[in-house]
Amino acid sequence: MTHESIFSGFGGQGVLTMGMLLGYAGIIEDKEVTWMPSYGPEMRGGTANCITIVSDKLISSPIISTFDTVVALNQPSVDKFEEKVRVGGNMIFDVANIINVPTRKDINIYAVPGSDISIKLKNTKVLNMIMLGAFIGITDIIKVETIWKALEQVLPERYHKLIPLNQEAFMAGMDAVKK
Amino acid sequence: MADKKLMKGNEALAEAMIRAGCDAYFGYPITPQSEVLEYLAREATNRTGMVVLQAESEVAAVNMIYGAAGAGARVMTTSSSPGMSLMMEGVSYIASAELPCLFANVNRGGPGLGTIQPSQADYFQSVKGGGHGDYKMFVLAPSSVQEMVDFVKLGFDVADKYRTPVMILADGAIGQMMEKVVLFEQMPRPDKNAKTWATTGRADRPVRNYITSLHIQAEKMEEINMRLQAKYRDMEENEVRYQAIDIDDADYILTGFGLGARIAMRAMEMGREKGYKIGLIRPITLFPFPTKIFEEVGSKVKGILDVEMNCGQMVEDVRLSVEGRCPVKFYGRTGGVIPSPEEILEKFEEYFIK
């Protein structure tokens, strides 16, 4: 199994953290992982993204130009990466932030009400966890329990009280794509 | 149990430095390698007593390295392209004075202040001089975060063995990306007195240790040059490292170093799926260059495509090694632009298949 994905959105939406959590979880399941962030000028105000590859075998290039799955949290990301989804791949996006929706017929398109769910959970900061839940719900490349373990590693101890909220958000995202 | 972690290249480099028993780090922050100094400032001193100092400039940092290395300390600095240029005078002095120390250049796009995105355009600077005079650095090109760890240990060892400056030539992507790493155990900081040539302030030595790069007499300077050259020939004999994949049945070879080689590896996989018999050679030591393997494959294959994130630098050494035995083509993107595996395969087909 090799899954090549990109998480993309505005700086501050937590897209780098989404990939990082997936990466930590990959390590816990003893897989190979590469996480390549955009760190250039685009981080200062525009879109941020990270290419995250999880695989059972050694990964050749950490930088690729087409993806099995794109997770887009804003319009520029949908515009930029819709054409980069491989045929039969997945385009997952947050409905609330997108006006021009993806239109390709040769990929699986998932419109997730991420922002709406985050408002229901009374914390818009967990949008990334909701979308990560949707990602795992669709791709099934990592076990949910492993994501919980990764959360404990990524979050400093003083934020561990926030883990239940993050778990709730993740599960809500997962449910949204399973309906 | 092995210490397995997900780490950023820059942080892995810093962690390896601490674990390798490094005595001191002198540096000046510059993107895309500032995490090295940040990580060391947070972690190092408490754990091993290592000195971590932000100098007032790269010029100051490299001269601190010069001084500390002369005093027998295990020392390292890191920078990125424009900062590395500022250090080059010091590198030449250090090479002349035969002092072991470790540099890492997390290469960004140039020339000039350039960009902060990844580049491999400092190959010439690292391999062909950079500073003045007939000197060489031992140059290692990591292509993964794991190698950022491994090459710190190897780099210190080679530096000590040959009393020479060693360069880890990475790039912005290797520095910024995260991968799985296995870390080696904490090593003790080395005994300074083991370096009998070092200026450690001991009064009980029969000869006075003296470190300089100034030799007024031409004959003396020539003698030192000959000694340096003998050392470089030794390295060419004993320290060449490269990675070869699927070259035995190959009709064509893709080559590149560092990140460029990783991307070429993907192009190779894609090409093999299309039925092209492609192998890959990745020089790990850029000096000493793995000349022999290119000589060997040069007379067996139909062509070599060299891929770099610059306008064609290592390709000169590939051509010098192949000596016309087969065509050597080049493809590169530069200024911080990263070539895609698709682009590379397209170029390969354009050169060799169509």
Q: What is the pLDDT of residues B198-235, one digit of tens each?
A: 999 888 888 889 999 999 999 999 999 999 999 999 99
The answer to pTM > 0.90 is yes
CB neighbour burial string for B19-34, b if at least 16 within 10 angstroms, e if fewer: bbbbbbbbbbebbbbb
Q: What pLDDT is attached to residue B1?
A: 46
In this complex, which of A20, A34, A60 lies closest to B179 when CB atoms are compared? A34
Q: Which amino acid is at A57?
A: K
**Looking at beta carbons, which residues of chain B come within 8 Å of A66?**
342
**What is the token pair recorded at B62?**
């490299």
- Single out the residue of B305, B307, B306 nearest to residue B340, CA to CA: B307
Q: How far is CA B349 from CA B248, B305, B337, B345, in A?
A: 21, 10, 21, 6
Give B140's strand partners.
B168, B285
CA B249 from centroid of its chain's CA atoms: 30
Chain A residues whose CB is inside 8 A of the B176 CB are 36-37, 39
Interface test with A, best of B106, B148, B177, B278 (most A CBs within 10 A): B177
Domains of chain B by start residue, with CATH: 3-238 (3.40.50.970), 242-353 (3.40.50.920)
Task: Determine whether the interchain pair A63/B259 forms a contact, defined as Cβ–Cβ distance below 8 Å.
Answer: yes
Size of interface A-B (CB pairs under 8 A): 68
Q: Is the dihedral of CA A47, A53, A59, A60 positive or negative?
A: negative
* Binary contact (A62, B173; C-beta < 8 A): yes
pLDDT tens-digit map of B229-265: 999 999 999 999 999 999 999 999 999 999 999 999 9
Pick from B32, B338, B342: CB nearest A39: B32
ipTM for the whole complex: 0.92
The candidate with the shortest Cα–Cα distance to A135, out of A26, A11, A12, A10, is A26
In this predicted structure, what is the pLDDT of residue A179? Answer: 64
Give the span between the Cα atoms of B72 and B192, in whole angstroms.
5
Measured in residues, chain B has a length of 354
Name the pLDDT band for B345 (thresholds 50, 70, 90).
very high
pLDDT surpasses 80 at B157: yes
Report the distance separating Cα A46 and Cα A61, nearest Å.
25
Residues of chain A with pLDDT under 50: none
**Minimal Cβ distance to A35: which of B5, B177, B341:** B177
B75: closest CA among B183, B189, B171, B175? B189
- State whether A39 and B338 contact (CB < 8 Å): no
**Smallest Cα distance from B115 to chain A, Å:** 8
**Residue B295, beta-bridge partner list:** none
Candidate from B4, B338, B342 with C-beta closest to A27: B4
Query: pLDDT value at position A41?
Result: 66
The sheet carrying B252-255 orders its strands as B242-245, B278-283, B252-255, B303-308, B328-332
Question: Is the separation of the CB atoms in A98 and A80 below 8 Å?
Answer: no
CB contact under 8 A, B6 and A23: yes
Per-chain mean pLDDT for chain B: 96
Mutation site, A60, A86, A146, A151, interface B, largest B CB count within 10 A: A60
Give me the mean pLDDT over the B77-93 stretch. 98
> Quick check: bond before B32 cis, omega within 30?
yes
- Give CA–CA dist B33/B10, Å, rounded: 6
Q: Which residues of B touch A36 (CB under 8 A)?
A: 173, 176-177
Which CATH architecture does the domain made up of A2-178 adopt?
A: 3-Layer(aba) Sandwich (3.40)
- Nearby residues of B236 by Cβ (< 8 Å), 6 or more positions away: B288, B291
C-alpha span between B265 and B269 (Å, rounded): 6
